[in-house]
């Protein structure tokens, strides 16, 4: 029988082939209906779809090489799959190589929700060309997402993933440590806030308030053990979807154990329509 709610999660898995057993095991234990993944770090042909299919999940993935890559696994339907969003900027790190759209955005309709798995560019350093690319990428996402809501104010949309932005000071373990760095700069925070202002609410924060609540801990210098993390993974929901959210979690325990991702899963429970 169908449950009273749908569970939607996002997880930067930091290589799906390395983390496959952990991911499919957690899907079953957490009873996740839809999982958006980032940093799969493989091409489409290398993505290990079979273990998901065996567990009743359809899978969509876009990846071109060992970098980036996003996926969606769903056991409540996977329709209208779309690679990239309208206006998504292109990138090339080499002047002699044509710029192309990277594998950073994948959309699909799952259980009536339009889910976008997003891996926002890192930015590298303030002033770096990749930083400017990041700001353009976020601006394009904001404009396109705002257009979706203009066309259908009742749309059920979830923008989920690794945003590579800590939008508030409380989202980093030390503001002094990150002073002058990416992820906390004012232009990046304004870009994130612009998407919130376009009526996409952070639906996890109300259930996980306070400083010291993070989703990412670097592997070096015992950052996880020392509680030195960042909150950079978010689920932003359209107004119609936000009204249906009944709970949310940052699953910190999945950062523990053998060969974890450096990110923890983030999930929400959504009442069924």
Residues marked as catalytic? 119, 162, 263
- The Cα 186–Cα 174 span in angstroms is 16
Work out the widest C-alpha separation in the chain, in whole angstroms.
56
Ramachandran region of residue 152, left (φ > 0), alpha (ψ -120 to 50) or beta?
beta
Q: Does 263 carry a binding-site annotation?
A: yes
- The Cα 42–Cα 39 span in angstroms is 8
- Give the side-chain half-sphere CA count within 13 A for 65: 3
Tokens of 24: 């499919």
What angle do helix axes 186-197 and 129-151 make, rounded to 10 degrees?
A: 10
For 231, the 3-state DSSP assignment is coil
Q: Does 122 carry a binding-site annotation?
A: no
Q: Does 262 carry a binding-site annotation?
A: yes
Q: Does 14 carry a binding-site annotation?
A: no
Ramachandran region of residue 194, left (φ > 0), alpha (ψ -120 to 50) or beta?
alpha
Q: Does 68 carry a binding-site annotation?
A: no
Q: Which residues are annotated as a binding site?
A: 12, 39, 162, 164, 262-263
Q: Which residues are annotated as a binding site for Mg(2+)?
A: 12, 39, 162, 164, 262-263
């Amino acid at each position: 029988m169908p449950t009273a709610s749908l569970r939607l999660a996002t997880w930067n898995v930091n290589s799906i082939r390395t983390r496959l057993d952990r991911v499919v095991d957690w899907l079953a234990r957490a009873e996740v209906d839809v999982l958006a993944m980032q940093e799969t770090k493989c091409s489409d042909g290398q993505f290990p779809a079979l273990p998901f299919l065996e567990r009743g999940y359809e899978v969509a993935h876009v990846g071109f090489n060992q970098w980036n890559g996003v996926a969606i696994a769903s056991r409540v339907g996977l329709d209208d799959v779309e690679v990239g969003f309208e206006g998504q900027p292109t990138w090339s790190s080499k002047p002699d190589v044509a710029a192309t759209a990277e594998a950073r955005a994948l959309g699909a309709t799952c259980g009536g929700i339009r889910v976008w798995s997003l891996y926002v560019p890192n930015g590298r350093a303030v002033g770096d060309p990749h930083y400017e690319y990041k700001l353009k990428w976020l601006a394009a996402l904001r404009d396109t997402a705002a257009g979706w809501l203009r066309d259908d104010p009742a749309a059920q949309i979830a923008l989920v993933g690794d945003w590579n932005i800590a939008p508030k000071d409380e989202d980093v373990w030390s503001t002094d440590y990150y002073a002058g760095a990416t992820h906390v700069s004012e232009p990046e925070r304004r870009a994130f806030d612009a998407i919130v202002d376009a009526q996409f609410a952070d639906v996890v924060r109300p259930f996980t308030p306070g400083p010291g609540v993070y989703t990412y801990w670097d592997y070096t210098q015992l950052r996880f053990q020392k509680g030195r993390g960042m909150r950079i993974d978010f689920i932003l929901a359209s107004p119609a979807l936000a009204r249906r959210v009944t709970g949310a979690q940052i699953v910190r325990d999945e950062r523990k154990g053998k060969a974890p991702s450096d990110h923890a899963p983030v999930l929400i429970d959504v009442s069924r329509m």
